[in-house]
Every structure is written in structure tokens, then in C-alpha cells.
Amino acid sequence: MNNLEDIMAMAQNVQNELQKAQDSLDTIEVEGVSGGGLVKVKASAKGRIVSMDIDESLLKPEEKGMVEDLVIAAFNDARAKADAASQEQMSKMTSGMQLPPGFKLPF
């Protein structure tokens, strides 16, 4: 029975560490950029958009289509960076754990 208790304690510890890692993702910020810096989007590693900056030179009616494309590109860049930051954070958290081969977190 002692072994089962150890396993349960380890599972509880893993769950607590996962929650801490998930909570910390909202404090990590990344910046997506497009158009050579004309459009910038800041997001948390959880994917929450924090802010956006559009250079004033793009704010012309005839530039509408290009601005829309640049905003989409900046969002996608921010999302990719958020995913990378999230993966890095989760890898740090699980690096010290002795998990069976092929076992991936979060479940």
C-alpha cells in the first residue's frame, strides 16, 4: 500500500506543478510582428491578446486590405510565439519528472 500512496502523492504533486505552469503562462508575453514592424501584437503565452500597435502610415482607406493582412500576420506570429513559449515552459516543468516513456503532459 505504501507504493500506491507514493504514486498518489506524486500524481498530486504533478497536478499542482501543472497548475502553476499553466498559471505562469499568462504572465509570459510575446510579440508578433508583421510588415517590418508596422503592425505589432502582444500576447500572453496562453494566447490572450494584450495589445496591438498599428503604425499611423497604414491608416489610409486605400491601405485597408494590406492592413487587414498585416494584422492577421501579426496575430499568427504572436500565436506561434505564444505556443513556443508555452511548450518551453511546460518542458521546463516536466524535465525533472520521471515519467514513463511516451507519457505526455498535460493529459
Residues of the domain holding 56: 2-94
Span 17-34, average pLDDT: 84
pLDDT digits (tens, 9 = 90+) for 43-72: 888 888 889 999 999 999 998 999 999 999
Assigned domain for 15 exists: yes
Q: How far is CA 11 from CA 7, 18, 30, 105, in A?
A: 6, 10, 31, 12
Q: What b/e sequence results for 24-35 when a residue is b if at least 16 CB atoms lie within 10 Å of its CB, and e otherwise?
A: ebeebbbbbbbb
Average pLDDT across the chain, whole number = 83
Q: Which residues pair with 104 in a beta bridge?
A: none
Assigned domain for 103 exists: no
Assigned domain for 69 exists: yes
Assigned domain for 107 exists: no
- pTM, two decimal places: 0.62
Assigned domain for 104 exists: no
Assigned domain for 45 exists: yes
Phi-psi region of 36 (alpha: psi -120 to 50; beta: other; left: phi over 0): left
The CATH number linked to 20 is 3.30.1310.10
The tally of domains found in the chain comes to 1
- Quote the distance between the C-alpha of residue 4 and its chain's center: 35
